[in-house]
């Protein structure tokens, strides 16, 4: 690549990137195409005079042609790596030039069987350059390339050609300027950039060899093939290869075309029909034939080049018995170019079959060909089914040069500096960079190896040697020289190394430390102990072996426990000194809680929702979330307050502890409608009309507010006391009133229980009935005799006359039977009759009635357990009992009366009279009556 700062008018000029096509001359396979994209980073557009430009980064992306791939495949190359040198040239306005050969590294790349493949390489220009003293245009051009490549086979070993150089020439007619740079004295610009071509040599193209091919044949060559399942079987092959017997050096040979016929023996065919299931109905696939090629330029001594040819196998029917002929196998290899005179030959070395067996339905065999992939059958000439000593050379040829070479007196190049690795007390492995013999030389024979000045073993052909028989703890100088087939020997390259001292016990472990702890593990690291093959960690009564490395993690420990760890190195000679360190495991972290269950709504109000749930294992608290809020609690119930009335909410409860959240649960809830707390309006226009002992009231209706619970009715108050019952209309009649003045008020009540204020009162007077009139009332009630714990039902009547508030009445009470419990547990019955003595007298003021009645109490029969113990017509109180009766609600229609009296002593009750009188007589007895006007 180069900088020329001359002037020439140009259109679009590349700047930093360019794609070029090359012809690259390979050994054996001749000139091949290569496309290269070159990128140079950091080329400035302008630069001041006398300015140093730092080295530039160069990257190439190469496309290797399919023909090259075919040639590399034929050479058994599966990978390629190496380096390249790119010509870079800079030309400056002051006339000076800069040659900058740029080395780039080609990393290892896989070589496919066919088709193009890419190579990438990176490097930098070798040094900084100066822009010079004159202003004007300069340029950078890219020239030819030189590759140094190392093709390797599938085992990672160099092919028989070894490492080699490939000179690549630009194809004619290409613009190879990659950039133009203007050199400034000030801030001026240079106008249009020039585009100048750098003329470089073009590739020599070898002419075709003019010798007539001669047919080389092999008949009845038998390979030993390892088919699946069955023992190795023979495969007969007839092969033909037309190729010249005389070839001129540096000419292009004809394409190598190998045609073959093969025959699968009857045993193998029978196995295809009987051993495998389902039987094979057809066979197809391909074969890879390995042909050995010997030629003078093959570097590795007598090791041939393993050339690969692919031979397709068309679909064939598999017979039920007999042999299976495979006809017309044809494989090709690219034309070759031999650069050195001498003898050459070709031999068939190996055959690998890649077979697909199909059943009668055309399906591949499910076990041998899963997914339709072929199975491999390796066939060799040295297997048990191949006869020994077979001739496998199919062609020999002679390479001649039109000029006689001069006698070879030039030694090979000096081997690269050796590298010694894998050093033990008695062995080591050494490698070095391969030497080369000059073009036209006799060829590299190999290398001589010297240890401490004494030749080690025989001449080796590869640039490596295994050193054995060394002494432990000794210093060695290794020297290597290269020798060609004429005996010319190069100078020596050398390296010195020491074998390790005899093995010793490991040194002491140092730097032991704890790197981390968990509740059940401790991680340790330490510095490597000298001579240690492994390490042993001891703690308590346990031992752990660490086979490699200087770190380990001890598991299975107990939480919150202190441990002492001792680590020492171990080898075959024993154990080294241990280092110790203490560590305490932390507490075991708690697990997250489990799943929350049992979430239910247990109560709602118009502004709250109460939820509860089951206790979750491991939960320290609970997080409650709802639309518009959140809270936490340690309980298993929670009341959410401040909610909107009559609104649906989704409540989510999540169990939680310091380890995090458990699995949440959710429940839907809805608040109640907001309660009605507003009173109805106060009733108005209350009016009352008295008729006899009744008052008829009316009033105007009240209203409940919009959205309220609705009007339920009205309460009536008489003299400030609420009368029982809710009135649903706007009127009510109060009866049974005594004469007097009454004040009535009315309140309204709604369905939510709200009661309005009382209305303004209305006064009504109930007139006193005319004097001298009498009224009869029916009486019902009970009398309780305290001392015997008995109750007697009462019925009767009273006819009363009220004059000026004084009452005079005739009382009649019918006899009746009652029950009692003597001493609280002896059941008994008693027949009682009350016989008033004279009139009942008293007073009536309004509804307050107070009377007094004197009556003889008769006990006609007293029984215990059904046995009569006293009674008779004479059994009665010795004196009349005084019974006071009072009522607070007595009116024309009657009322409730009650009183307490003392029962006098009894007489005339039989021989048990003293006992009966003592038991029955006494105070605290009651009478309760209800009077209803007849």
Per-residue pLDDT, 575: 93
What contacts 541, CB < 8 A, 6 or more positions away? none
Give per-residue pLDDT as tens, 121-147. Answer: 898 988 888 888 889 999 899 999 999
CA distances from 513 to 516, 551, 565, 570, 794 (A): 9, 10, 10, 19, 107
719 and 742 Cβ atoms separated by less than 8 Å: yes
The pLDDT value given to residue 858: 86
Query: What's the CA gap between 340 and 440, in Å, rounded?
Result: 7
Compute how many other C-beta atoms are within 10 angstroms of the C-beta atom of residue 640.
22
Q: What is the DSSP letter of 122?
A: E
Model confidence at 542: pLDDT above 50: yes
Task: Provide the pLDDT confidence category of residue 735 given band limits of 50, 70 and 90.
Answer: confident
Give the pLDDT score at 922: 86
Question: For residue 487, is pLDDT > 50?
Answer: yes
272/228 Cα distance (integer angstroms) = 10
The structure tokens listed for 440 are 């036209």
| Helices then strands, each counted (H, E), the chain | 3, 65
H/E element holding 927? Answer: strand 922-933
What per-residue confidence (pLDDT) applies to 309?
86
Residue 464 confidence (pLDDT) above 90:
yes
3-state secondary structure of 934: coil
Query: Under a CB-based contact definition with an 8 Å cutoff, are residues 344 and 399 in contact?
Result: yes
pLDDT at 5: 34
Dihedrals phi, psi of 426, to nearest 5 degrees: -130, -10
Report the 10 Å Cβ neighbour count for 501: 11
Question: Mean pLDDT across the chain, nearest whole number?
Answer: 88
Long-range contacts of 155-159 (CB under 8 A, 24+ apart): 156/79, 158/300, 159/75, 159/76, 159/77, 159/305, 159/306
Please say if the pLDDT value at position 916 is more than 80: no
Predicted TM-score (pTM) of the model is: 0.42
Q: Contact at 8 Å (CB) between 131 and 138? A: yes
Residue 4 confidence (pLDDT): 34
Residues 915 and 913: their CA atoms lie apart, in Å, by: 5
pLDDT at res. 459: 92
What domains can you pick out in the chain, each with its CATH number?
17-184 (2.60.40.2270), 213-400 (2.60.40), 419-498 (2.60.40.10), 510-584 (2.60.40.10), 600-670 (2.60.40.10), 684-766 (2.60.40.10), 774-933 (2.40.160)
Euclidean distance between CA atoms 324 and 261, whole angstroms: 11
Q: In sequence order, what are the beta bridge partners of 925? A: 901
What is the reported pLDDT for 8? 33
Percent of residues, the chain, with pLDDT higher than 90: 50
CA 649 to each of CA 608, 625, 641, 643, 905: distance values in angstroms, whole numbers, following the listed order: 10, 10, 12, 9, 77
pLDDT tens-digit map of 592-627: 999 999 999 999 998 999 999 999 999 999 999 999
Tens digit of each residue's pLDDT (9 = 90 or more) over 342-364: 888 998 989 999 999 999 999 99
Q: 27-41, 530-544, 834-848, 862-876: lowest mean pLDDT where?
A: 862-876
Which residue is associated with the tokens 């380990």? Answer: 552
Q: What's the CA gap between 596 and 623, in Å, rounded?
A: 11
Q: Contact 482/435 with Cβ under 8 angstroms?
A: yes
Q: pLDDT over 70 for what percent of the chain?
A: 95
pLDDT of residue 547: 95
Pairing status of strand 621-626 against strand 629-633: antiparallel
Which tops the pLDDT comparison, 304 or 925?
A: 925
Structure confidence at residue 11 as a pLDDT band (50, 70, 90): very low
Q: Give pLDDT, residue 12.
A: 59
Q: What is the mean pLDDT of residues 693-708?
A: 86
**Across 905-919, average pLDDT:** 80
Predicted confidence band of residue 829 (pLDDT cuts 50, 70, 90) = confident
């Amino acid at each position: 690549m180069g900088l020329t700062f001359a002037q020439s008018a140009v259109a679009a000029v590349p700047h930093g990137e360019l794609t070029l096509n090359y012809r690259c001359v390979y050994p054996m396979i001749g000139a091949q195409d290569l496309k290269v994209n070159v990128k140079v980073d950091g080329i400035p557009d302008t630069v001041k005079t006398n300015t140093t430009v730092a080295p530039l980064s160069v990257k190439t992306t190469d496309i290797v042609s399919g023909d090259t791939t075919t040639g590399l495949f034929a050479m058994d190359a599966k990978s390629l790596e190496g380096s390249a040198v790119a010509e870079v040239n800079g030309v400056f306005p002051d006339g000076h030039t800069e040659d900058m050969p740029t080395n780039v590294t080609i990393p290892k790349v896989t070589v496919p069987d066919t088709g193009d493949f890419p190579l990438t390489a990176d490097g930098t220009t070798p040094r900084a350059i100066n822009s010079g003293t004159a202003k004007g245009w300069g340029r950078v051009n890219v020239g030819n390339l030189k590759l140094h490549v190392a093709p390797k086979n599938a085992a990672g070993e160099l092919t028989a050609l070894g490492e080699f150089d490939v000179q690549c020439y630009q194809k004619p007619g290409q613009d190879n300027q990659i950039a133009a740079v203007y050199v400034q004295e000030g801030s001026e610009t240079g106008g249009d950039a020039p585009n100048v071509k750098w003329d470089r040599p073009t590739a020599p193209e070898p002419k075709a060899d003019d010798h007539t091919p001669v047919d080389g044949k092999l008949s009845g060559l038998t390979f030993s093939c390892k088919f699946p399942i069955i023992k190795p079987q023979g495969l007969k092959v007839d092969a033909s290869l037309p190729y010249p017997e005389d070839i001129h050096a540096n000419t292009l040979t004809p394409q190598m075309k190998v045609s073959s016929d093969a025959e699968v023996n009857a045993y193998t065919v029978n196995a295809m029909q009987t051993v495998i299931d389902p039987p094979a109905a057809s066979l197809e696939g391909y074969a890879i034939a390995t042909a050995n090629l010997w030629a003078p330029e093959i570097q590795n001594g007598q090791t041939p080049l393993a050339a690969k040819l692919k031979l397709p196998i068309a679909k064939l029917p598999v017979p039920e018995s007999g042999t299976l002929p495979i006809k017309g196998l044809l494989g090709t290899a690219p034309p070759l170019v031999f650069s050195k005179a001498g003898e050459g030959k070709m031999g068939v070395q190996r055959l690998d079959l890649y077979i697909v067996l199909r059943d009668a339905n055309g399906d591949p065999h499910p076990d041998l060909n899963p997914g339709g992939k072929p199975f491999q059958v390796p066939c060799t000439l040295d297997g048990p089914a191949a006869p020994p000593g077979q001739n496998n050379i199919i062609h020999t040829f002679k390479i001649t040069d039109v000029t006689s070479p001069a006698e070879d007196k030039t030694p090979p190049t000096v081997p690269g500096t050796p590298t010694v690795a894998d050093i033990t007390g008695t062995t080591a492995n050494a490698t070095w960079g391969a030497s080369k013999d000059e073009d036209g030389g006799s060829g590299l024979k190999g290398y001589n190896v010297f240890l401490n000045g004494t030749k080690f073993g025989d001449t080796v052909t590869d640039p490596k040697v295994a050193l054995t028989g060394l002494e432990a703890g000794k210093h060695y100088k290794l020297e290597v020289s290269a020798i060609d087939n004429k005996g010319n020997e190069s100078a020596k390259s050398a390296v010195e190394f020491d074998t390790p001292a005899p093995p010793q016990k490991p040194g002491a472990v140092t730097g032991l430390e704890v790197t981390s702890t968990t509740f059940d593990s401790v991680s340790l690291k330490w510095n490597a102990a000298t001579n240690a093959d492994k390490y042993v960690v001891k703690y308590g009564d346990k031992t752990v072996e660490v086979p490699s490395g200087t770190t380990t993690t001890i598991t299975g420990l107990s939480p919150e426990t202190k441990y002492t760890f001792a680590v020492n190195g171990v080898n075959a000679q024993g154990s080294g000194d241990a280092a110790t360190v203490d560590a305490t495991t932390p507490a075991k972290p708690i697990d997250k809680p489990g799943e929350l269950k049992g979430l239910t709504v247990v109560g709602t109000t118009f502004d709250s929702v109460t939820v509860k749930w089951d206790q979750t294992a491991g939960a320290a608290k609970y997080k409650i979330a709802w639309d518009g809020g959140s809270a936490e609690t340690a309980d298993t119930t929670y009341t959410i307050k401040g909610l909107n009335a009559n609104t649906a909410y989704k409540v989510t409860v999540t169990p939680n502890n310091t380890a995090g959240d458990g699995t949440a649960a959710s429940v839907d809830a809805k608040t109640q409608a907001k309660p009605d707390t507003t009173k109805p309006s106060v009733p108005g226009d209350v009016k009352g009309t008295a008729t006899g002992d009744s008052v008829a009231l009316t009033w105007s209706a009240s209203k409940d507010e919009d959205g309220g619970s609705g009007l339920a009715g009205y309460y009536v108050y008489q003299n400030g006391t609420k009368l029982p019952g809710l009135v649903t209309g706007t009127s009510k009649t109060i009866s049974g009133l005594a004469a007097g003045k009454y004040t009535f008020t009315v309140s309204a009540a709604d369905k939510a229980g709200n009661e309005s204020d009382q209305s303004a009162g209305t006064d009504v007077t109930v007139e006193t009935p005319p004097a001298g009139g009498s009224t009869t009332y029916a009486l019902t009630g009970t009398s309780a005799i305290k001392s015997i714990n008995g109750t007697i039902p009462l019925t009767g009547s009273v006819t009363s006359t009220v004059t000026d508030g004084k009452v005079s009445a005739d009382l009649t009470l019918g006899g009746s039977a009652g029950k009692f419990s003597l001493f609280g547990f002896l059941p008994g019955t008693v027949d009682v009759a009350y016989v008033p003595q004279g009139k009942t007298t008293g007073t009536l003021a309004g509804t307050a009635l107070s009377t007094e009645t004197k009556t003889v109490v008769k006990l006609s029969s007293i029984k215990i357990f059904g046995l009569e113990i006293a009674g008779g017509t004479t059994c009665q109180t010795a004196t009349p009992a005084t019974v006071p009766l009072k009522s607070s609600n007595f009116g024309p229609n009657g009322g409730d009366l009650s009183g307490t009296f003392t029962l006098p002593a009894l007489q005339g009750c039989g021989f048990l009279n003293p006992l009966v009188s003592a038991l029955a007589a006494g105070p605290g007895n009651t009478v309760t009556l209800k009077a209803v006007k007849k």
